[in-house]
A = this chain, B = another copy of it.
Amino acid sequence: MLDPVIDPDRIDHHNRPLESRLAAGVEHLAGELDVAGHTSADQVIDALTEFSVAAPSWAVGTGGTRFGRFPLGGEPRTTEEKVDDVAALHTLTGSNDSISLHVPWDDPPDPAALRRHAAERGIRFDAMNSNTFQDNPSTTDDGRLTYKFGSLANTDPAVRRVAVDHNKYVIDLGVALGSTALTVWLADGINHPGQADHRDQFERVADGLRQIHDHLPADWLMYTEHKPYEPAFYATVNQDWGSSLLLAQAAGEKASCLVDLGHHLPNANIEQIVSRLAMVDRLGGFHFNDSKYGDDDLTSGSIKPFQLFLIFGELIRAGDGRLPSLAYMIDQSHNIKDPLEDLIQSTDAICIAYAQALVVDRAALAAAQIDNDAAGAQQVLQNAFRTDVRPLVAEARRRVGAAIDPMGAYRAVGYRAAAIERRGSTTVATGL
């Protein structure tokens, strides 16, 4: 195999004993769907084969918290090795054909070479991410400046300038890599009441985003990403979708809002926020993950799978039956699991939620809504959610040559052990 990427033959080998049971499962479910009559198994499978969710370069290494980090070994040492990990992931899932870089954690000396490296492995470059929440010589004027008190929101024009410049640099790098989008998540905010003026901060950020927006090539998009807290603990500048929308509007026409599922206050109705942003045509994309308390960055669908289903329901509603073409990315922190296993589980959960949303009887739902038949409408959604769509998701993988059971296959091929052998057991990938 293109070491350490996984050889397709091994996938085939792993799939073979699972095929007959899968076929029976697909057949049974196809029959059930035919009886229901509103969606066919093939429609779902076709949609799934076209779906891909980007993997983040920073999440193929072990994640951590402020309390510590427990690396598991074999972590990628370079952006090329991160691409290799994503390529391995894609070989298994068939649904992760792109990688999202984070600069300067990723700052390739030879972008063209990196692009070739990725292309050879079938991986594209998804949205670029600019990092202005950490000090780094390359982003803080050789260490003469600091983002300690914010980047675009900083009171110091020199800091704002380097932050804007860094974003422009990231766009230029993205152009070289074939990316077409920039995600701007800012840690800007304050820890203490009074520390900064809410409005002044907002206006400085809006001004910076406008400058960055004006640097975008014609075919590029830009995403503003809100978050209520962390690392700022009293207020952030882009604290919720309301502010994110105002910032996107201020930045320009190519700007829209990115929704990270962990970036909300307790009990927030995220699916409704998705609907609102789609309504005003400023829904840009997603950072998928799951959480119980805050920005926990847990495996997608592992805590609130029904919410994930409802979000996909809103997307399909917004796309009038089809998934809109947005930026779909995973953004997680794999603190105690093998990151690739967690990405496999996340991709699987995302595909399951998507498939469940596809088997909603939309006509019946609309009819129940018109009639104020709350019980009936609930039944329609629950019927879809309770459907065991795993055979369809697995079949979609099989059809594109990926693994019927990607987790089993990953373990069977011994990818992690090979990575440790090749990269060492003490490597630490850049990221959180």
Residues of A at under 8 Å CB distance from B?
Answer: 21, 24-25, 28, 31-32, 35, 64-68, 70, 133-135, 146-149, 155, 187, 190-200, 202-203, 228-231, 233-235, 239-243, 245-246, 265-269, 271-273, 275-276, 278-280, 291-294, 296-299, 302-306, 310, 314, 317-318, 333, 335-338, 341-342, 345, 349, 352, 365-366, 368-372, 374-375, 377-382, 385-388, 390, 407, 432
Contacts and interface: CB of A to CB of B under 8 A. Distances in A.
A291 B233 contact: yes
Contacts of A146: 70
18 contacts: A28-B28, A67-B432, A70-B135, A148-B372, A190-B374, A191-B335, A192-B377, A193-B310, A195-B369, A198-B275, A199-B279, A229-B296, A233-B296, A239-B269, A246-B276, A304-B306, A336-B374, A386-B388
A192 B374 contact: yes
A68 B335 contact: no
Contacts of A203: 279
Contact of A336 (B149, B293, B336, B380): B149
A293 B195 CA distance: 17
B298 A234 contact: yes
B233 A202 contact: no
A343 to B, nearest CB: 11
B375 A341 contact: yes
Contacts of A273: 242
B134 A67 contact: yes
B276 A293 contact: no
A241 B242 contact: yes
A272 B148 contact: no
Question: Would you list the 4 A-B pairs with minimal beta carbon distance, nearest first?
Answer: A242-B242, A233-B296, A388-B388, A70-B148
Contacts of A349: 382
A371 B154 CA distance: 10
B336 A155 contact: no
Contact of A193 (B229, B291, B303): B303
